[in-house]
Amino acid sequence: MSVDCVLAVVIEHDQGKTKPVSLEVLSAARKLADQISGKVVAFCFCHAADFEVDLFIQHGADEVRVLTHPDLQHYVHENYAFALLRQLEKSEFDYLLLPATNNGKELSAVLSARLGVGVATDCISLSVSGGEVEAVRPVSAGKAHSTVRFKGKKPHILSLRPNVFRDPPLSRQGDIIQEEIELPEFSQRVRELVKQVGSQLDVTEARIVVSGGLGMQGPENFKLLEDLAEVLGGAVGASRPVVDNGWRDYSNQVGQTGRTVSPDLYFACGISGAVQHLAGMSSSRCIVAINSDPNAAIFSVADYGLVGDVLKIVPILTREFKKILAS
Ligand SMILES: Cc1cc2nc3c(=O)[nH]c(=O)nc-3n(C[C@H](O)[C@H](O)[C@H](O)COP(=O)(O)OP(=O)(O)OC[C@H]3O[C@@H](n4cnc5c(N)ncnc54)[C@H](O)[C@@H]3O)c2cc1C
């Protein structure tokens, strides 16, 4: 088969597990590749070659390159960028696709600057027109969509919004290449500086997000949301004033000036529903709002609304979900 275009995908992992969003990016790359006689190459930078590479092939990779080094156990942009740039020097790629997670966005910005190439971030739809990839990305806090095409130097970089490009695995064949790679001396220094951040789920990648606003009354009550998120396997989010008050870390903030999330299920607990908050979560597949004010704006976007005291309702939900999931 002749190949007109090569698409590279960077696999993200955490605690030795592939992040589901990487499989979504592979599936999206596969769909593009099928329209432009393309080949999909998955790059897995890791410290040990024990990843489920078959899964990468089932989700669309024609070739998987597992590149190992002890300092690639955790994501550090200096190490990932160094290793990836070496690979891009060895072979030519037309497109480079990454997840629009915190790490993926950082890495795409670093690579775009180093290579002097364009980047389209947080893409929500991809298509092919005239043999070229077109990407749609939200702008103006999600109020409008812009369609982006690339010009100039390659590879063109795209980061894809998590939870948007899901496809089931297919029965496929592919090649696997394993290689131990070198990293410069700084990688060890960086390793010493890296703090182990634990296995907290990134709010942008979570399929269930339990967010709290000022209606939670204080930082101590976020434990209720953590409990619900834990039972459901989700992540905790927050409104901006909650973050401004120092109740939660900025990485939890959902909205125009925080993270944009598209989970299957979004709980808005004690959140009024200001436009700036909606900008970050209104594309969630199902929204459950809990608010004591029946006229709160959040109810206008909610699929399910519970009017009442969030501090009383959330523990009931946690208890009931626990029972249902246990059975
Ligand atoms: C430029 C700009 C950017 C912004 N970016 C963001 C952003 O990224 N993200 C964001 O969230 N905001 C952002 N904001 C702020 C935004 O305008 C709102 O002020 C904010 O979203 C309100 O947060 P909240 O819903 O937690 O608080 P509030 O608006 O004070 O709402 C609290 C809600 O809790 C309810 N409540 C109170 N007690 C209870 C109880 N016991 N049980 C149940 N419900 C209860 C109340 O009825 C109320 O609806 C931005 C603002 C500006 C100007």
**pLDDT of 124 above 70:** yes
Closest ligand 1 atom to Cα of 256 = 8
**DSSP H helices in the chain:** 20-35, 53-58, 77-90, 102-115, 186-193, 222-232, 240-244, 275-281, 310-326
Residue 195: pLDDT band (50, 70, 90) is very low
Q: What are 231-260's pLDDT values in tens digits?
A: 999 999 999 999 999 999 999 999 999 999
Q: Kindly report the protein residue whose alpha carbon is nearest to atom 29 of ligand 1.
A: 272
**pLDDT of 93 above 70:** yes
* C-alpha torsion angle, residues 314, 320, 321, 324 (rounded to 10): -170
Ligand 1 neighbours, Cβ below 6 Å, are 213-215, 239-242, 253-258, 270-272, 274, 276-277, 280, 290-293, 296, 309-311
Please state which CATH number belongs to domain 5-193.
Answer: 3.40.50.620
In DSSP terms, which residues pair with 66 in a beta bridge? Answer: 44, 178
Question: What is the model's pTM?
Answer: 0.71
* 212 Cα–ligand 1 center, Å: 9
Closest ligand 1 atom to Cα of 238 = 11
Q: Which amino acid is at 99?
A: P
Least confident of 105-119, 150-164, 188-202, 243-257: 188-202
Identical fold, 5-193 and 208-326: yes
* CATH topology assigned to domain 208-326: Rossmann fold (3.40.50)
Q: Is 63:39 a contact under the CB 8 Å cutoff?
A: yes
The CA-based angle 136-265-30, given to 5 degrees, is: 40
Candidate of 272, 278, 313 to mutate for ligand 1, largest count of ligand atoms within 8 Å of Cβ: 272
Candidate of 240, 247, 257 to mutate for ligand 1, largest count of ligand atoms within 8 Å of Cβ: 240
* Boundaries of every domain in the chain: 5-193, 208-326
Compute how many other C-beta atoms are within 10 angstroms of the C-beta atom of residue 171: 6
Candidate of 209, 214, 216, 298 to mutate for ligand 1, largest count of ligand atoms within 8 Å of Cβ: 214
